[in-house]
Amino acid sequence: MEPPKRRRSATRARLLEGALEVFAERGFHGASVEDICDRAGFTRGAFYSNFGSKDELVLALFQATTDRLLEQIGALLPDLANQPGTLLDAVLGLLDEAALDQRQWHLISTEFTLHALRSPEAAEALNRQRGMFRDQLTRLVEEITAAGDLQLSVPPEQFVRLVIALHEGARSQTLLEPAAVPAGSLERTFLPMVLNAVSRRQV
């Protein structure tokens, strides 16, 4: 018999997967808890034993997505930490590989961001989650620059905010104009320029 902890983890994973599909199809406000449960094959009881609300479920989706990306970036560090340019290419490659999921994710994250702008409680929770992601990404940037004997002329956290802003803005343009703005093209063109502009070798 499957252990309860593993069974609960599998239930959460299926609910998250079902929610990702339903939110992308019907929108955050258009999707009901029943819709999510039907797609995942569970009851409302299973939903509420894992998540307190749709807001909490979306935040769990954000967390799972950012955790996966950070884990993948972390796996690249041992071989590429002393080659910032190469590491940047590798990270952008990871983002390119996720391109098939980008439309779904963009629809969900954009709509939830709009929801958070109207809901102080949702905004606080989203800012907390995004802040944790930025903190982890900032630590990775600090590790990379230290290993490559680089010094940034701006606070690492500000550099991370710019990288996120560029990627999110580029993703929107790519989804609307895929022929004119191929996935990753803006990031590959401009992020190396930004990195060169705000970094120098330590003497």
**55-112 tens-digit pLDDT:** 999 999 888 888 887 787 777 766 665 666 666 666 666 665 554 477 888 888 899 9
Amino acid occupying residue 53 = S
Q: What is the CA radius of gyration of the chain?
A: 19
d(CA 58, CA 18): 12
How far are the Cα atoms of 20, 93, 161, 198 from residue 127, in angstroms, in the given order? 20, 27, 13, 26
Ordered by where they begin, the domains of the chain are 1-52 (1.10.10.60), 54-201 (1.10.357)
Cβ(46)–Cβ(125) under 8 Å? no
Question: Mutual orientation of helices 4-26 and 99-118 as an angle, nearest 10°?
Answer: 80
Does this model's pTM top 0.95? My answer is no
